A and B are shown apart, each in its own frame.
Chain A
Amino acid sequence: MRDKTAILRSQSRGASAGNPPGRALQDLNPDEASLRAQSQEARARLAAIVESSDDAIIGQTLEGVITSWNGAAERLYGYTAEEAIGNPITLTVPPERMDEFRGYLDRVRHGERVDHLETIRVRKDGSRLDVSITVSPIRDEAGTIIGVSKSARDITERRRFEAELWRKNIELEIAGHANDAFLASISHELRTPLNSIIGFTGTLLMKLPGDLTEAQDRQLQLIQVNARHLLSLINDLLNLAKVRSGKAEVQVEPVDLREIVEEVAPTLRPAAEAKGLRFEVSLPPEPLQIQTDRRSVFQILMNLTTNAIKFTASGLIRIEAERVERTSRGPEVALRVVDTGRGIATADQKRLFRAFEQLHPELDPGAGSGLGLHLSQRMAGLLGGRIEFQGELGLGSTFTLFLPEP
């Protein structure tokens, strides 16, 4: 019995209101003895819980003198229980945190609780650590405050992680700005020479410096066509760079898709008809209104239609627009470009939307950089939609831009 008492006492490391000194269990009368045994067991259980905690749990008097100190406190602060108990808790408080300490101790003495205060403490070896502490009053049965309980958790790791995250964020922001400035600068540098090329071929073609022979006129036109083509490549590249870096801005507004078709059609109809192709437009009578970025949809449709015309030697180009009821994705609208061109072999279909892929550059001299479809697909993604392909080699192609509705 005596041994058991001693073991219990050392296990609870002097936890509050320990056994009264002296009287061994066997000296008490049977009822008292059994009550006492029960209460000791309960205390021992609590003590074990305190011991097993990962948080430092420290008991203090109202003046801040340490009365209990668990294993986690030993690990956190470096003082053993023997070294800590009986000493003031200010051992662990760095000078610049003393005012803060006195402040909350005072509040706790008046019955308040301090929750998750993030502060700094000092270890036995003098090193500092970031901790989060909760301090609360200990009351007796009558409700009088008789002590202070503090639990502390090491948050150094979390702090370090947060600081790292903060720094990375700043780095990313700086890189983002640098990228913006780079893109703006490159854009300017690339467009400036084109100003002269397009501009002066223009003034010559306008015959401002004088008349032109037929050959001169023809050759200047070739220069100008290629210069404009170069300009659109540059624009595409820059747009792609923006989309890839997440910098592309989408201005969402209500757009009637029929209007966009009606802008694209007259622009490209002449090119189609010059090749002897039929050019048809099929639109619903009622408005096809969705929330989207007008310019992007226009660019995508221009790209798809230009491709269709380019790769169709005879037959027809048709632009369609309609509402689609889809079960898995919800209501959508579809802008479709159908052609009766050479079609795309099954083997080539999966390469369609990759950047810089030109399926058959030999068939398409003077053509694009292979950015068009890739950029269009990216842009479609930004709008919450996608482009799908349907078709077979020799049987024409259909490219459909799906956009969510509304």
Chain B
Amino acid sequence: MSIRVLVVEDDPDSLELMTYLFHAFGHEAIGAGSGDAALSLALSTRPDLILCDLRLPGMDGFEILSRIKSDPSLQSIPVVAVTAYAMPGDRERVMSAGFRGYVTKPIDPQTFVRQAEEFSARV
């Protein structure tokens, strides 16, 4: 089943990698380079899944998550963090903030899309 994924990532090459992979597997991917773009695109396109890099200039992944959770029309969309996991305690922070899950960076191109599909399928 084809899903629509909103990918929030400020590095253009990483964004290209992720959208390419989604397309290759038959899904639709929309890219946003910042928190503001992400929020307005989420409202206008109603994606099935949001993938969000935690480290963004300006609004970071955590803030984007909380904006999405506090918007009644968006809060049912699962948000998955994309992160390098630099520091201890990051995993707990991510899960307790309300992300559906996380994908580690650098991503593994072979399993990336399947992971995303699983995240969007869980209720």
Contact = CB atoms under 8 A, between A and B. Distances in A.
Interface string A186-211: 01100111111111101100101000
Contact of B17 (A184, A188, A203, A247): A203
Given A195-B105, A196-B14, A202-B109, A248 B55 contact: no
Interface stretch (B40-48, B71-79, B85-93): B85-93
8 contacts: A187-B86, A188-B55, A192-B105, A198-B106, A198-B109, A199-B107, A208-B20, A242-B88
A15 to B, nearest CB: 65
A249 interface: yes
Contacts of A184: 55, 86-87
Nearest to B84: A191
A206 B55 CA distance: 28
Contact of A188 (B13, B86, B89): B86
Given A196-B17, A208-B24, A238 B86 contact: yes
A192 B87 contact: no
Contact of A199 (B17, B87, B88): B17
A180 interface: yes
Interface of A: 180, 183-184, 187-188, 191-200, 202-203, 206, 208, 231, 238, 242, 247-249
Contacts of A194: 106
B110 A206 contact: yes
A199 to B, nearest CB: 4
B30 interface: no
Contacts of A195: 11, 13-14, 17, 105-107
Given A195-B105, A202-B109, 9 more contacts: A183-B86, A183-B87, A191-B106, A195-B106, A196-B17, A199-B17, A199-B106, A202-B110, A208-B20
Contact of B87 (A180, A191, A193): A180
Interface string B86-123: 11110000000000000001111110000000000000
A311 to B, nearest CB: 29
Contacts of B39: none
Contacts of A180: 87
Given A192-B11, A192-B14, A208-B24, A199 B86 contact: no
B84 A199 contact: no
A191 B89 contact: no
Contacts of A192: 11, 14, 105
A249 B110 contact: no
Nearest to A201: B109
A194 B88 CA distance: 21
Contacts of A191: 84, 105-106
B10 to A, nearest CB: 9
Contacts of A187: 84, 86
Given A187-B84, A196-B17, A249 B106 contact: no
B53 to A, nearest CB: 9
A196 B11 CA distance: 10
Contacts of A231: 106
A249 B89 CA distance: 8
A208 B11 CA distance: 22
A191 B106 CA distance: 6
B109 A206 contact: yes
B21 interface: yes
B55 to A, nearest CB: 5
A224 to B, nearest CB: 10
A199 B109 CA distance: 5
A188 B90 CA distance: 13
